[in-house]
């Protein structure tokens, strides 16, 4: 079945540093979604990428979808304490059930 | 108005008991889900219903039984609770199913189950 690997599992940064989380799929994806879960909260949808090589920005967040549609990344520029949380990718492809990556927990030190 | 609401928010119970978690969505979505999130944060899909019909049933013990009385509700009943069932259970809904038609998921706030 489809697997979505996400790294790193944890990332500690100083406030103001950049942060990136990566997702890789064992199969070609139709699309990939990104979610953010604040501590004690529930996952909240951030964005969906559909096209090969697509890049989308939301303020300090940049989302990329690889040319082969097998990998994706989320990059945060100049992290702030409000960015703390766990970021998940969710890949969908063909007849496979959409699968979440294991998440990257971002810890921002002031 | 909460889009996806689940109750109760917290459940503390003894091993061997039976418990239920209820979920309702007012978004008019066709598809509803139950996810289990363990202490390592992994979001594992358990079940999915589309228009009251079961479409995903992952390798979940048959002590877990979902019920969808209508497309706005998806309840989860758990029999003979075990220690390993302790987790946060999230209900979610989406307009699409999967494949090219994957819709974004809207999650409830979660139900934290603790089995003693």
3-class SS string, chain A: CCCEEEECCEEEEECCCCEEEEEEECCCCCEEEEEEECCCCCCEEEEEECCCCCEEEECCEEEEECCCCCEEEEEECCCCHHHCEEEEEEEEECCEEEEECCCEEEEEEC
Residue given tokens 């989860």 in the structure block:
B76
Compute the nearest-CA separation of B111 from chain A (Å): 10
Whole-number pLDDT of residue A52:
97
Compute the nearest-CA separation of A80 from chain B (Å): 22
Q: Report how far residue B75's alpha carbon sits from residue B69's, in angstroms, rounded to the nearest whole number.
A: 8
Whole-number pLDDT of residue B52:
79
Q: Is A93 on the interface with B (CB under 8 A)?
A: yes
Identify the helix (H) or strand (E) that includes residue B71. Answer: none
Whole-number pLDDT of residue B101:
61
Inter-chain touch A43–B104, beta carbons under 8 Å: no
**Closest residue, chain B, to A96 (C-alpha):** B99
- The segments of chain B whose pLDDT lies below 50 read none
Whole-number pLDDT of residue B49:
87
Question: Quick one: what percent of chain B has pLDDT higher than 70?
Answer: 95
| Res A32 pLDDT > 90 | yes
Whole-number pLDDT of residue B55:
78
Read off the tokens for B109: 């706030």
Read off the tokens for A110: 């002031």
Task: Name which of B41, B46, B47, B101 to mutate to probe chain A: the one with the most chain A Cβ atoms within 10 A of its Cβ.
Answer: B41
A69 backbone φψ class: left, alpha, beta (φ>0; ψ -120 to 50): left
Q: Is B58 on the interface with A (CB under 8 A)?
A: yes
Q: Is B107 on the interface with A (CB under 8 A)?
A: yes
List, for residues A47-77, the tens digit of each pLDDT value. Answer: 999 999 999 999 999 999 999 999 999 999 9
């Amino acid at each position: 079945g489809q697997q979505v690997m996400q790294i790193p599992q944890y990332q500690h940064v100083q406030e103001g540093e950049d942060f990136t989380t990566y997702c890789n799929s064992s199969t070609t994806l139709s699309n990939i979604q990104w979610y953010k879960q604040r501590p004690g909260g529930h996952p909240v949808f951030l964005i969906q990428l559909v096209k090969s090589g697509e890049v989308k920005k939301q303020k300090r967040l940049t989302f990329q979808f690889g040319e082969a549609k097998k990998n994706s990344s989320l990059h945060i520029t100049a992290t702030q304490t409000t960015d703390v949380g766990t970021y998940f990718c969710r890949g969908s492809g063909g007849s496979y059930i959409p699968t979440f990556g294991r998440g990257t927990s971002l810890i921002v030190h002031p | 108005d909460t889009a996806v609401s689940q109750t109760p928010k917290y459940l503390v119970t003894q091993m061997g008991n039976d418990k239920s978690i209820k979920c309702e969505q007012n978004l008019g979505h066709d598809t509803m889900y139950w996810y289990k999130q363990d202490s390592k944060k992994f979001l594992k899909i358990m079940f999915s219903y589309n228009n009251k019909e079961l479409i995903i049933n992952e390798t979940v013990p048959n002590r877990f039984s979902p019920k969808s009385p209508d497309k706005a509700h998806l309840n989860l009943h758990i029999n003979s609770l075990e220690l390993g069932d302790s987790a946060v259970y999230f209900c979610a809904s989406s307009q699409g199913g999967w494949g090219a038609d994957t819709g974004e998921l809207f999650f409830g706030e979660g139900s934290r189950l603790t089995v003693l």
